[in-house]
Amino acid sequence: MSYKNGFLAAAAVTGLLCAVLPASANARPPHPPKGAHGGSSLWSAQGGPDMLEGISLTKQQRKKIDAILSDAHDQDQTDSIRNDMGKLHEQIQDQLTTPGPINKDQINTLLQQQASLRAQQEARHLDVAERIHDVLTDDQLAQIKARQTKIRDLMEQLREVQHPEPTDASK
């Protein structure tokens, strides 16, 4: 992957996280239970930016969000999506590294299965984000949206600095 494509991919992921998540907060969001690694929760520090950072949460909000994250973590631990994704990836790698002609139909079938699993994961992530959204006040959501806008603007400025438009040398 070229540097430009890598940067664009990183920017797209950041944008997706900012678009899906109801953004930043003052107190850190509740962390998953001890021993948990945050799973696939988009709200964890490992899964992306702490979108609740900078937002003051009441004790009741913290308790509700903690329960939502705990439930999501428990669900991540009991399903097989992550393992199934890994197995599909291995099967695709095997197809691509086996001597002889590539079975494109089989690879396409595996890619479709991967896409289906990703869609299931994203639907669950969106559900978690929606549940957390419903815990927050309109003022908290407005603060989060303002932070998201600022992050997007800064990312655009960074892109412009890293990849300036060519100047016309004929002038």
Q: What pLDDT, on a 0 to 100 scale, did the predictor assign at position 82?
A: 84
Helices 3-20 and 104-135: angle between axes, nearest 10 degrees = 40
Give the C-alpha separation, 40 to 157, whole Å.
Answer: 29
Distance between CA 119 and CA 50 in Å, rounded? Answer: 23
- Beta carbons within 8 Å of 94's beta carbon, 6+ residues apart: none
53-96 confidence digits (pLDDT tens): 889 999 999 999 999 999 998 888 777 888 899 999 999 999 99
**CA–centroid distance for 67 within its chain:** 20
Average pLDDT of the chain, as a whole number? 77
Whether the predicted pLDDT of 132 surpasses 90? yes
What is the C-alpha R_g of the chain? 20
Task: Tell me the CATH number for domain 57-159.
Answer: 1.20.120
2 to each of 7, 8, 9, 165, how far by Cα in Å?
A: 9, 10, 10, 18
Closest CA to 51 of 76, 71, 28: 28
Could you read off the pLDDT of 4-37 as tens digits, one per residue? 545 444 444 444 444 444 433 333 444 433 333 3
Per-domain boundaries in the chain: 57-159
